[in-house]
Amino acid sequence: MGINSLKKSSRLLQSRRYTHDSFTDAQEAFTSVLDINATEVYTDQILIPSSSLPFSGSSQSGSIYSSSGKQVMKYYYRAAMTKSDLVSGSASEVWFLLSPSGSNAGINAQLIDSNQQNNFISPKYSVPALTNANTEDATPGYGAKVFVSSATSSAGVVAGDQVSTNNYTFDYKNGTLQFTSNAVSATTSQYVYISTYQYIGRTLASNDTLGYSGSFSGSFFGNGAGITNISASSVVGLSLFSIATGSITASVNVTPSNLFLIKSGSTEYLNISSSSNTTLSSNLFIIKNFTTQQPVLTVSQSIVQIATQSFNPSGTTDAGSIWFTSSSMYIGLEN
């Protein structure tokens, strides 16, 4: 027996594959049956407002709502739809939202027109209280509002032209409007207008091209290769004002002129070269007693100051030592 469309659709909705009509639903294998590409995944869904929708009037037609610096959705106010060129009697049962709108003669329903718009926002994105609200209500929701009119432009559409939601279905994903029967369809001499919101935010595909931004919380495992632009202040436990605690091991620079160099910007403060020469660059150099913190030797510009003792030495002193008091200087000689 050939394909049973009803059974196949039912199994696909259950995430089961369809092979033989003689099998029952329970006999078919579970598998992935949905083909969703990167352009169909809304990565800015969280930015779609669930209430307090920003637009609902004629002056706002074409307005774009942005959040966090990103364009999220566009508002259409009574946008003219384009009918299918396939006519049933004197009725046009299928209509498409094109931008710009298509020919009055209609478009081929078997082919997707390059101007056809899709990705419209349905009431599922709103709070429950707005489930039945349409985009033109005083407190607007995401329900599409549809009009059938003899007016050739939206300016001539009146409230009485609104169509009952029971008379049509609007596919928010691909922008196709279908009347439920030929009897309630727009005639070939009438026009259809719609007010609705369209998602224009990023998709997974655009993120693959443009990259991601923002923040996240969680754990990271790996060697960190390729991670860049992480500031030192972002690393937990890193002290920006000390080198380390405990012992320090380091390798000297291979440049002979500065094996060990301390500098700030272009100013060098301490430089030890491979010839053991030590250069200290400072307008003021002080050596203090470790315990009392009193200056022992001070060098300021070309003046050298050596600390004095408060009493004269007695007995012997170390050879080569120099001893200063407030009034005398003593030099230690060999015995």
Tokens matching residue 143: 């329900």
Cα separation, 80 vs 111, in Å, equals 20
- For the stretch 137-172, pLDDT in tens is 999 999 999 999 999 999 999 999 999 999 999 999
pLDDT greater than 60 at residue 1 = no
pLDDT value of position 222: 74
How deeply is 91 buried, as exposed, middle or buried, from its count of CB atoms within 10 A (0-12, 13-18, 19+)?
middle
Structural contact between residues 47 and 70, judged by C-beta atoms closer than 8 angstroms = yes
User: Cα angle at 242 between 239 and 244, to 5 degrees?
Assistant: 90
User: How confident is the model over 197-208, as a mean pLDDT?
Assistant: 88
Confidence of residue 133 (pLDDT cuts 50, 70, 90): very high
Of residues 93, 106, 95, the one with CA closest to residue 179: 93
pTM beyond 0.85: the answer is no
Beta bridge partners of 65: 73
| Cβ within 8 Å of residue 219, ≥6 positions away | none
Structural contact between residues 145 and 79, judged by C-beta atoms closer than 8 angstroms = no
**Order of all β-strands in the sheet with 168-171:** 82-83, 94-96, 176-179, 168-171
C-alpha separations of 256 from 32, 261, 275, 279 in Å: 67, 11, 8, 14
φ, ψ of residue 196 to 5 degrees: the values are: -160, 165
DSSP 212-226: --S---S---S--TT
- For the stretch 69-125, pLDDT in tens is 999 999 999 999 999 999 988 999 999 999 998 888 999 988 899 999 999 999 999
pLDDT value of position 244: 64
